[in-house]
Structure 1
């Protein structure tokens, strides 16, 4: 598949994931879109689905081979688990953890917040409890919302 077509598919896959359009996600994957791709901004489909709490889309992407610990964006986003925890999307957090997301992985290539820090900033008690049960370790450092 040529590079231009792959870029278009990637862009459309991120858009479909953003809006939780599972039918479109499946069609794009069948057409050759790669689940571990990103759009021109660096956003991955799994991050886009996770930040919006689109659990069904998250499950489609994971089943197609999207990696649950891949950082998205260029410093403005993070990991799918951090995205879901930040907004208290408990079912999405559950799906990501079930597919191997690391509950202690800090976003921004290890320099940002962890999923538990995002959930605690919410606060989202159900998400916090789920992350703790999965082995998340609360950290003693203070972070700002922009870090």
Structure 2
């Protein structure tokens, strides 16, 4: 697929994720949009879906090949998808990520930052923290 066409598909994919349009996300992925192509800022589609709390969109992206542990690098959107979901208390999205192999112990910033459980606990999201603990997350120490 030509670079220009892939770029257009990627822009459309990010717009569909932002609007929570799972049907469009599915169509774009079937049309060849990459589930891992970062936007110009370095943000991954899965990270954006996780911040938005779009569990179905996150599932579609992972089924299309997006890595559940790929760290996003965009300004203001740095970190792992599971940390993003945990930060905002998106429990259903966290469940999807874990079901697709996200590591509940993986810390952001290439291992030097907060874990998903840190984010859930500091954000006062007990339901999300409970899901993470059930998946094996634990406080340091």
TM-score, normalising length from structure 2? 0.93
Moved more, 51-60 or 6-15: 6-15
Q: Which residue of 2 aligns with 1:83?
A: 84
Q: Which residue of 1 aligns with 2:120?
A: 119
Matches of 1:64 and 1:96 in 2, distance apart?
13
Matches of 2:71 and 2:39 in 1, distance apart?
13
Question: 1:8 Cα shift?
Answer: 1.8
Matches of 1:18 and 1:105 in 2, distance apart?
25
Matches of 1:34 and 1:40 in 2, distance apart?
14
SS of structure 1 residue aligned to 2:89: coil
Question: Quick check: which one's strand share is greater?
Answer: 2
Q: Which runs of 5 or more residues in structure 2 are unaligned?
A: none
Check the 8 A contact 2:41/2:75 in 1, yes or no.
Answer: no
SS of structure 2 residue aligned to 1:73: strand
Q: Which segments of structure 1 move beyond 3 Å, counting only runs of 4 or more?
A: none
Q: Which runs of 5 or more residues in structure 1 are unaligned?
A: 141-147
| Residue correspondence of structure 1 range 1-147 to structure 2 within 5 A | 1-74=1-74, 76=76, 77-139=78-140
Matches of 1:132 and 1:41 in 2, distance apart?
32
Aligned residues: 140
Moved more, 45-54 or 66-75: 66-75
TM-score, normalising length from structure 1? 0.89
CA RMSD of aligned residues (A): 1.3
